A and B are shown apart, each in its own frame.
Chain A
Amino acid sequence: MPLNFDSLASAPRLLLEARLQPIQGTRFQPTGFPNLGHATYDGPNGERMLLVESAQSMANRLETVCWDKAADDWIAPLQGLPLVKVRDKDGAALTNTVLEAHRINSPYILEGKDKTVFNTLKSELAGMEEGPVDIKQLAVVLLKLDTNALIHGVFLAKSELAGGRLRLPRVLSSFIEAEDVKEAQSGGVKNDHVNPSGDTARGFGNVPFARSEFTSPKIVAYFNLDLAQIRAFGLGTTVSELLIALSLFKIQALLSSGLRLRTACDLEVNEEPGLIVTRPLDFEMPSLSDLESALPELIAQVAEEQQWPQRTATTLTWEPTTKAKKGKADAPADTEAAD
């Protein structure tokens, strides 16, 4: 079925809510570090609330669902979208703008010896050192370098680029919150039946552990798409449609397959009421399969309109300058990247 965005033509924003539930059982594991505790707080009606997933974390997840790790490329329906790939000096894949927390502002792109992208940005965005930043020009540049950044926002914090004032807010933002939560405390012991009092630091011995989980009668994922901002980029109807379709695809893909937020926090959308459009009320959310089939055509149209080259991926090689630290440390699995 072709996509129909007519009802979004004059709407300032699209608001969606999805009611979620644990796939199995009633408990789910919250985010948090032992020294921070869980992100609980009171709601206005006295109910205990829990932030299940922050806006930053959701942005990362909405990007992860677009990426095929094995092929080191966009998943099939998104093939052909511009991005920046970073390889190490041996030519092995290191990172890319879809997976990087700060997208095109990643230090692996702007802080290395390979200045390809930095120089492109500098030349294309020249003349903005003084006076207001030209957002439309920034959008034009990002569209052909890192389209994904138009959706999730970017902050080019380098003083050489318009005095570090180049920034775009998120067009798509989201978070998950649980209402009226109750804590479910449990625990156990990792048993060592050979030597229960062995050296636990080396993996021997019995190790007791505690586990904090939560139950909630209402877990909601909220999504907000700033349609007015997409139109204000001034990139034309086709590009706007592509950005909207890409955003909706991300939401549907996340809801259908990307809700295993943590080992013991595997959620799914309730069949009733499922995904609800709260603004504008007359918009019908396209299905994942409709979006998957429409996106390649939309990407091809935009590529033709914008005269994108055959290869839309910019590839550069990461070599740290003398100032930059060597090697990329692995962030802990639960770390939330601030965008």
Chain B
Amino acid sequence: MLAIAFTFPAGRYHATPWGRHVNEADVAWPPDLWRLSRAFIATWYRKLDGQFSRDQLHGLLASLAEAEPPSYRLPEHVIHAHTRHYMPGKGDKKTLVFDAFARLSPDDALVIAWQNLSLNTEQYTLLDALLVNLGYLGRAESWVEARRIDDAAEYSYNCVPTDLDIDIETGEVTGEIVRLLAPQPPSEYENFRGAQLTQAGIATESQGHRKKLKSDQKRLLSTLPPEWIDAMAVDTSELQAAGWSAPPCARTISYRRPLQALKTAASKTTVRPTDGQAKTVMTTARFALYGKPLPRIEDAIRIGEALRRAANIKANHVLPAKLLPPELSGHDLPEANRHGHAFWLPEDADDDGAIDHLLVHVPDHLTQDAVRLLTSLRALKRDEGEPLRLILEGLGPASAFQSISRYAERACTWRSVTPYLYPWHLKKPELRDPGAAWAAIKQQLRKEWSMRGAGLPEIEHIEELPEIAAGGRKLRALRFHRFRGKRGLTQPDTHGRLLKIRFASAVRGPVALGFGCHFGLGMFQPLE
């Protein structure tokens, strides 16, 4: 196997495909064997003709041309871009020229691999010298570094010689067909040339003396030199002047290139290098709620569930899968996902006792589908009266909301906004003894908190509050609606408690614990 890796130190590759005008701003991608062979000839002429003979060059290029067509490994992120320039001419004349190029990472290699080709030692030596001395590939701005590689099998080749661009079994389009030029093997060129000259009425060298040629015959003859290497080196302008639509010494090979191998704009999902800084993960969305009357904070769980329902209905309209993404639904998640999915948290930001905002918090981060869905939510239906209007205020990490939402602050001491309901059954002795019950509840709370993630600060102190203030009202736990709308759920605690908890060090909210904590029960806010 022979494989060559090309990297472009300036991150740019400029090359115009054969037969295209430079101002069409197309890019010949991938670089074909025809271009590479011509680049080798030019490099030999300019830098190596004193060290290697013409016959050696012929031998190497013929081996490449006669081998099975190579496969390519194309870099994943390649952008097809162009710049425009005025090229000054004589006097005041300015010509507008387009300079198209592929912009790629300087360290992302393009690999060309011949699966079943091995060369002799002399050819390897020449090839290595050509690769070292190859300064650019394509136009002069396409600085290139090329080298032979041994680990070619580790690459996956995504641009292969074939004329099939669909999966026959599934009918799926798997790529696009590009036609790449490659040199004809020397013997085929000889036959082709003989046929062309005979057809044009020109005697070949072996047929002896030539009659005086007409101008078009001369032009044709100049593009069909007897030497195969000379035929590859004929200037493109000469070929075009003689009327060739493709170089006579070249053949066309169909390749399947991945769809989007050359993008005109970078995909917005590309992960950018972070230079060692922590990546900002989008976990939280905040909605403002409008309507009259606004629901009371006591009905928080109803509103949390209503928002989840609204999202579920919207998913059917806006998402291709017609389902809530797992991080919003909480379904089909791996066993390890303990509360990494969405919390739908109603919020009373102005302390008037009415829910005026909603926070959707997904600790595992929001996917593109989730963002698309949340940005399309407009209204929240109630059992009666006008629907409540939802206005998306923003998306970001929880910390982005700390100045406007108490749920997103960092604090050591937190107190209940809605009652905490313990999630696991108490044992009978504990049920009979209030002291034992309180100890067991505190134990459950600590256990649940420790399962929220590794390295979280411990709960140092838990205290029960008789009541909390909201909108000028004193609210006890029993004033709140404490039941899920979903039937058939086991609910060990129907009473609920209002708590104050203190952590060993500050934690970032939202903090929601206990039964129904994903829908608005067991919510906490920092203690002022």
Residues of A within 8 A of B (CB): 12-13, 15, 33, 36-37, 39, 41-47, 49, 51, 54-56, 101, 107, 132, 135, 153, 165, 169-170, 173, 175, 222, 224, 226, 228-229, 231-232, 234, 278-279, 324-325, 327-329, 331, 335-338
Contact = CB atoms under 8 A, between A and B. Distances in A.
A33 B105 CA distance: 28
Interface centre among A153, A226, A327 (most CB of B within 10 A): A226
A229 B135 contact: yes
A55 B140 contact: yes
B266 A43 contact: yes
A310 B216 CA distance: 51
22 contacts: A36-B86, A36-B96, A41-B79, A41-B82, A43-B103, A44-B108, A44-B266, A54-B83, A56-B85, A132-B45, A135-B45, A165-B235, A173-B141, A226-B135, A228-B132, A228-B135, A229-B46, A231-B47, A232-B48, A232-B133, A324-B90, A338-B97
A170 B140 contact: yes
Nearest to A111: B90
Contacts of B79: 41-44
Contact of B91 (A56, A135, A231, A325): A325
A220 B91 CA distance: 34
Contacts of A279: 9, 145
A12 B87 contact: no
Nearest to B237: A164
A335 B46 CA distance: 31
Interface centre among A43, A229, A329 (most CB of B within 10 A): A43
A335 B94 contact: yes
B88 A173 contact: no
A229 B135 CA distance: 9
A101 B267 contact: no
A45 B270 contact: yes
Nearest to A13: B135
A44 B104 contact: yes
Contacts of B108: 44
B174 to A, nearest CB: 23
B88 A101 contact: yes
B235 A39 contact: no
B90 A107 contact: yes
B220 to A, nearest CB: 17
Interface in B361-384: none
Interface in B265-285: 265-268, 270, 272-273
B103 A51 contact: no
B270 A46 contact: yes
Interface in B31-89: 45-48, 50, 75, 77-79, 81-88
B92 interface: yes
Nearest to B100: A41
Given A41-B81, A107-B90, A336-B85, 20 more contacts: A12-B133, A12-B135, A41-B103, A42-B103, A42-B264, A43-B266, A44-B78, A44-B104, A46-B272, A47-B272, A132-B233, A173-B140, A224-B10, A224-B135, A228-B133, A232-B47, A232-B48, A232-B50, A329-B91, A331-B88
B11 interface: yes
A150 B87 CA distance: 22
Contacts of B493: none
Contacts of A229: 46-47, 135
Interface centre among A44, A132, A135 (most CB of B within 10 A): A44
Nearest to A330: B92
Contacts of A132: 45, 233
A46 B267 contact: yes
Contacts of B86: 33, 36, 335-336
B190 interface: no
A321 to B, nearest CB: 13
A173 B143 contact: yes
A50 to B, nearest CB: 9
Nearest to A43: B103
Contacts of A107: 90
B176 interface: no
Contacts of A37: 84
Interface in B117-144: 132-133, 135-136, 140-141, 143
A216 B133 CA distance: 34
A338 B87 contact: yes
Interface in B247-268: 263-268
Contacts of B10: 175, 222, 224
Contact of B132 (A12, A169, A173): A12
B46 A135 contact: yes
B99 interface: yes
Contact of B273 (A45, A101, A135): A45
Contacts of A49: 81, 103
B47 A44 contact: no
Contacts of B48: 232
A234 B233 CA distance: 23
A137 to B, nearest CB: 13
Contacts of A175: 10, 141
A275 to B, nearest CB: 16
A21 B336 CA distance: 48
B292 to A, nearest CB: 42
B130 to A, nearest CB: 11
Contacts of A39: 83-84
Nearest to A45: B272
Contacts of B145: 279
Contact of A45 (B47, B133, B141, B266): B266
A228 B47 contact: yes
A44 B132 contact: no
A327 B90 CA distance: 10
A337 B75 CA distance: 33
Contacts of A44: 11, 75, 77-79, 103-105, 108, 266, 270
A115 to B, nearest CB: 18
A101 to B, nearest CB: 6
A335 B91 CA distance: 13
A13 B131 CA distance: 12
Given A54-B99, A228-B47, A325-B91, A169 B84 contact: no
A236 to B, nearest CB: 14
A158 to B, nearest CB: 14
Contacts of A335: 86, 88, 94
Nearest to A225: B135
A132 B145 CA distance: 26
Nearest to B93: A329
Nearest first, the 10 A-B pairs at minimum CB distance are A41-B81, A46-B266, A39-B83, A232-B47, A44-B77, A42-B266, A338-B87, A46-B270, A329-B92, A36-B84
A169 B263 CA distance: 30
Interface centre among B10, B50, B145, B270 (most CB of A within 10 A): B10
Nearest to B265: A42
Contacts of B47: 228-229, 231-232
A33 B84 CA distance: 9
Interface centre among A33, A232, A337 (most CB of B within 10 A): A232
Contacts of A15: 9, 143
A15 B135 CA distance: 11
Contacts of B233: 132
Interface in B228-255: 233, 235
A153 B136 CA distance: 14
Contacts of B88: 101, 331, 335-338
A262 to B, nearest CB: 15
Contacts of A12: 132-133, 135
Nearest to B97: A338
B77 A45 contact: yes
B428 to A, nearest CB: 61
